[in-house]
Amino acid sequence: MRHISLNERYHMFSEAASSYEDKKLTFSLSDDIVATGFTASAGSRILEGHRPVYDSTVSARMRAAGGSLIGKTNMDEFGIGMFSVTGTDIPKNPFDLARSCGGPCGGAACAASLLDGHVALATSAGGGISVPASFCGVLGLTPTHGRISRHGLIDSVSSMGPIGIMATNADLLRRYLKVISSGDPNDPVSAAQPDLVLGKSKLKAVAVPNGITDLVSTGVREAFDRSVGTLRDMSVDVEYVDIPELDYSMSAHYILATAETALNLATYCGMRVGQQSGDMSLPFDDYFTSFRTKYFGTGVKKRIVAGTYMTLGDNRNELYMRSLGIRRLVMSRYEEILSEYDAILTPSTPITAPTFDEVSGIRYTDEYLTGRFAVPPVFCGLPCLSVPCGYPDGVPAGLQFTAARWNEDVLTDAAAAWEKAFDIKAPEASL
Amino acid sequence: MDLLTVKRVAGIAHIDLTEEELKLFENDLSEIFDLLKAVNNTPVEDPPCFDPADAYGALREDVPVVYGNADEMLKSMSMYNGFVRGPKIV
């Protein structure tokens, strides 16, 4: 089958179904979303071979809507990374095999790009949808935190990380957002949401943060500036505004995301799930340490060490609690701006997809800052949309719209309008 | 973040680091902690936002249910005489 042949070349799936019914909608799940019949390792060796016995809510809803799950997609280990190079396998960019798909859910973007009419569901604790959607040239919708049930998600960051959708057109986003949304008793956060209403809003006015392209590559800047012109041609009012508060997001996000990761990953210790074949004669502290040392990757260990530090002693108030207050401040500013405009417009990423050689040389802080535009909306639980907006040097650049809480409607309208105004290119996939 | 702090915190997190990892973490975490210094000079707003959904207290009814797939779930666990196996405590 085509998805298997493509997988041999592009490595988008960690596990692929051997077959599926013709003419059915195909969908995939990033490897941190569980489904019966498939393993779920969240890209980590510590969960290698883990075979859940229940369906996540999104998987059950997609299957009930007639979807055929054709694979679990490769991702950075536990969603930690910006280039999808730290998981159990490395997906290759559909536009250039020597380049990264972006991360953490790069396999999902790759699958959405290469498979006709495919819906790829993935998670975003800090850019996991906008970054790979941008690098792979597909549409990526990150819904409001709480819009989609996270029941069945192998979670590393509890207060962020909604499940979202990547696909090649706005109609797929709109149709399957409806399918997977609505409250779920198994995820109380999702139960508090208002009804999803689509088809009522229109994108009329967007705000662009002043200086937003100061720290981006030339290709991204040129694509972004052309996009502003295209939006004006579409009769969208584009205004430049000061939003310095967005700059506060990255530091506070790092503190909260690492602290939550350290806490959530404490559960993986060689008992109950995943790897469990250790020396039972060891004292329990040594037993737990031996598993975590052996099976966690370097990036995950680094996050756990950083996150543990964030809540130790005085750091709890000086770093962790302070970051929660910063999040409230940034959310308030977003709310203020989005009461005047339908969306805030930024590039999706400051760069286009780097080559794997370039990735290996990127400094830790610079890797994190690849999410400088994709992180703030997720940090504040807001919905955002990435669409392709140019192809500097033959690889895609992305444009990101961030909307007010629960206003996915304006984003699906923006997606539909954008795909009429901009010529979205498909990669020339070879087998 | 100095080498000793990295080592101490890793110990608390139940992770042993190699010499190479210690040096890498010291370098990378020191670099990113320079970025984090910004939080000290950033204004904050109350109340602290623990979860952007602000869905506190949105809990399902507290009704006991029998989990249908318990036996299947136990099959993936290391078991001994019907108990989950673990390392020795004493």
Model pTM score: 0.96
Is residue A306 assigned to a domain?
no
B81 in reach of chain A (CB within 8 A): no
The domain spanning residue A117 has which CATH number?
3.90.1300.10
How many Å lie between the alpha carbon of B66 and the closest alpha carbon of chain A?
14
Please state, in angstroms and rounded to a whole number, the distance separating the CA atoms of residues A259 and A253. Answer: 10
pLDDT at B29: 96
Is residue A268 assigned to a domain?
no
Of A116-125, A187-196, A235-244, A347-356, the one with minimum mean pLDDT is A187-196
Confirm if A159 and B52 have CB atoms less than 8 A apart: yes
Is residue A276 assigned to a domain?
no
User: Which residues constitute the domain of residue A198?
Assistant: 2-247+325-421
Please state, in angstroms and rounded to a whole number, the distance separating the CA atoms of residues A94 and A165. Answer: 18
Residue percentage of chain B with pLDDT more than 70: 98
A320, A374, A174, A101 alpha-carbon torsion, rounded to 10°: -120
pLDDT at B62: 84
Is residue A413 assigned to a domain?
yes
Of A40, A62, A77, A72, nearest to A178 by C-alpha is: A62
pLDDT at A431: 63
Q: What average pLDDT does the structure give for chain A? A: 95
- The HSE-up count of residue B7 (CA atoms within 13 Å, CB side) is 8
Q: Which two tokens stand for residue A255?
A: 């503190």
Residue percentage of chain A with pLDDT more than 70: 100
pLDDT at A188: 86
Residue of B nearest to A326 (CA): B44
Please indicate whether residue B79 or residue A12 has the higher confidence score (pLDDT): A12
Please state, in angstroms and rounded to a whole number, the distance separating the CA atoms of residues B86 and A288. Answer: 10
Is residue A315 assigned to a domain?
no
Mean pLDDT, residues A209-214: 96
Per-residue pLDDT for A67 more than 90? yes
- For residue A285, the Cα-to-chain-centroid distance in whole angstroms is 34
> Closest partner residue to B86 among A271, A289, A381, by Cβ?
A271
Q: What is the pLDDT of residues A17-53, one digit of tens each?
A: 998 887 789 999 999 999 999 999 999 999 998 999 9
> Closest partner residue to B84 among A54, A272, A284, by Cβ?
A272
Residues 7-66 of B with CB under 8 A from A: 9-10, 12-17, 21, 24-25, 28-29, 31-32, 35-36, 38-40, 42-53, 55, 58-60
> For chain A, what is the radius of gyration of the CA atoms?
20
Is residue A13 assigned to a domain?
yes
Q: How many separate domains does chain A show?
A: 1
> Closest partner residue to A262 among B13, B43, B84, by Cβ?
B13
Q: Say whether the peptide bond before residue A347 is cis (omega within 30 degrees of 0).
A: no
Helices (H) and strands (E) in chain B, counts: 3, 2
Q: What is the pLDDT of residues A88-131, one digit of tens each?
A: 999 999 999 999 999 999 999 999 999 999 999 999 888 889 99
Contact A188 B44 (CB under 8 A): no
Is residue A265 assigned to a domain?
no
Q: What is the pLDDT of residues B47-64, one digit of tens each?
A: 999 999 877 667 777 888
Residue percentage of chain A with pLDDT more than 90: 88
* Model ipTM value: 0.93
pLDDT at A122: 98
Pick among B28, B63, B69 to test the A interface (most A CBs inside 10 A): B28
Is residue A320 assigned to a domain?
no
Please state, in angstroms and rounded to a whole number, the distance separating the CA atoms of residues A357 and A361. Answer: 7
Contact B51 A273 (CB under 8 A): no
Q: A410: exposed, middle or buried (C-beta count within 10 Å: 0-12, 13-18, 19+)?
A: buried
User: Which residues in B lie closer than 8 A to residue A322 (C-beta atoms)?
Assistant: 39-40, 42, 44
Of A386, A419, A381, A421, nearest to A400 by C-alpha is: A386
